[in-house]
Structures are given as C-alpha cells and as structure tokens.
C-alpha cells in the first residue's frame, strides 16, 4: 500500500471501500500488483483474496513486478527476472478464470534510461504478450497519502482533513494541467489515464474525487477503451531518466521538452519530510 504501512486488516478494508466507491461511480479500473508485497502475512493469504476481489468486481489486474525495482538502478537481466516472477502468480489467478495476464506497468514509470534497457524491456514484454499501461495524469498522491495516514495514526484530525482537502485540489490542478498539455502537444484532449494507489486516502476520498471528475465532464471507461484513442498508437518515444506522463513523452518525441506537472503543496512536502524524520 502506498502512503502507509501495509497491515492486513487495513489492506482488506481499503480494498473493500475502494471497490465500493468504484462501483457507485460505475468506474472500471485496473489494479497493478507487486506480487511480493504481503503486509507481513503469507502473500497468497492476502494477495490472492485482494486480487480476486478486484476481479470479482469486474476490474482488470496487471503486473507491477515482484518487488518494485527501479530500472534505472537495476541491471536489465535482474529487472526482467523480477518482472517474470511478478507475472507468474497473477497469470495463475487469471487462468483459473479462463483469462491471461495482459497488462504491465513500470515501477516509478521508469521505462529505460539507456537504449539497451528500453529496448530490452520492450522486447521482453512483447515476447510475452504483455502490454504497457501508460499514465497520462501523473500526480503526487503518494505524498498526500503518507501525510494523511501519519496524521490519522497520530490522532491529528485537523492535519488529516487539511491534507485530504489539499489532495482533492491537487488532483483538480493536475487534470487542468494535463488537459492543457494535451491540447498543446496533440491539438486536442484525449482519454486520460489516472494513476492512483490503494491507500486510506483514496478509500476515504474516492467518491468525492470521482464526482469532481464527472463535474469536469469525464465519463469512466476501461483501460482497453481508453487506449483505443489514436494518440496511444504512438507508443513511448521517451528515452531518459525519470517517469513523466505519456503526454510529456509524446512532447519529447516531437522535439519538445518533457515537463513536470504540478507538485504537492509546499506545506504538504514539509509535513511529509517532518513526519518521515519522526519515524
């Protein structure tokens, strides 16, 4: 779980409430799992029921590697081994249902900082029939989630409430930014892909967040349908460090600059550092 320690009972509760919010909004989603992250419980006793709950609710699941390695800091062979290890239990769950693993998402959205790493990973995914799930609306949710969880654990409801309000405003800001960047880079707005994590912040705020997106004019579609837009046929031309939005990657492929979207509020960044130091 991003944004707080992984506790089995909390993970189950967060999963239930996020799935309920998605159902209320008729919002299909894709959940990407690090198969080794087990909340100090035997991984198949927690991971499999959580992922089965996602599948039972009609959502996709995808591979986010076994242990969340950073491609920029990991030899390619070691990274590919981790990808394959992460895929195995997920594919097993899907095959019981007559399906197969399709989706992969890079940890940190790092897709390769050298030609050898980028091409090596892309070839490996293609050989296995796995598709990359891009992200167009990247954001700093994980910072807000950490502060929110820490505030709740400390009984600081004022900080938790302030953080939740700032988080929703931040999501509005990043959507406004990437809508504008889409028009600037592509000449139009496209179906967006939003990256969020399963955590207490989203379990508590997802109803409000999705309502705000509807108010912006969005309707919710599954990942396959979103990627049917012609913009995504371009693929990922970006080669370099970091993990920018795919809109920024397309900008770089056209000779432009991959920019950084809106960051967290300064007081949230300060709270994050203070709370991390106090651990």
Sheet with 60-63, strands from edge to edge, namely 30-33, 60-63, 103-104, 131-132
The CATH class of 8-277 is alpha beta
Residue 198: CB atoms within 10 A of its CB come to 23
Q: How is the chain split into domains, by residue range? A: 8-277
Q: Is 17 exposed, middle or buried (0-12, 13-18, 19+ CB in 10 A)?
A: middle
> How distant, in Å, are the alpha carbons of 116, 124, 213 from that of 120?
6, 6, 37
Residue 228 has pLDDT above 90, yes or no: yes
Average pLDDT over residues 250-271: 96
What tens digit of pLDDT does each residue of 232-245 get? 999 999 999 999 99
Q: What is the DSSP letter of 130?
A: P
Global confidence as pTM: 0.94
What tens digit of pLDDT does each residue of 48-77 get? 889 999 999 999 999 999 999 999 999 999
Per-residue pLDDT band for 1 (boundaries 50, 70, 90) equals very low
């Amino acid at each position: 779980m991003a944004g707080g320690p992984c506790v089995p009972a909390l993970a189950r509760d967060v999963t239930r409430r996020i799935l309920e919010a998605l159902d209320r909004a008729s919002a299909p989603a894709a959940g990407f799992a690090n198969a080794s992250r087990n909340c100090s419980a035997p991984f198949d006793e927690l991971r499999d029921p959580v992922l089965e709950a996602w599948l039972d609710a009609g959502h996709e699941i995808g591979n986010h590697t076994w242990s969340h390695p950073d491609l920029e800091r990991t030899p390619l062979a070691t990274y590919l081994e981790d990808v394959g290890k992460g895929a195995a239990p997920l594919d097993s769950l899907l095959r019981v249902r007559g399906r197969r693993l399709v989706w992969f998402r890079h940890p940190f959205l790092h897709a390769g900082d050298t030609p050898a790493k980028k091409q090596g990973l892309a070839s490996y995914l293609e050989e296995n029939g796995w598709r990359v799930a891009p992200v167009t609306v990247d954001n700093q949710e994980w910072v807000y989630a950490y502060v929110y969880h820490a505030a709740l654990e400390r009984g600081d409801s004022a900080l938790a409430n302030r953080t939740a309000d700032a988080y929703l405003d931040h999501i509005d800001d990043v959507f406004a930014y990437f809508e504008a960047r889409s028009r600037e880079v592509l000449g139009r707005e496209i179906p967006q892909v939003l990256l969020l994590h399963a955590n207490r912040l989203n379990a508590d705020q997802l109803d409000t967040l999705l309502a705000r997106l509807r108010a912006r004019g969005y309707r919710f579609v599954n990942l396959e349908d979103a990627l049917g837009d012609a913009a995504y046929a371009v693929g990922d031309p970006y080669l370099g460090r970091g993990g920018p939005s795919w809109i920024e990657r397309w900008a770089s492929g056209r000779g432009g600059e991959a920019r950084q979207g809106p960051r967290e509020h300064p007081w949230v960044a300060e709270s994050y550092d203070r709370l991390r130091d106090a651990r």
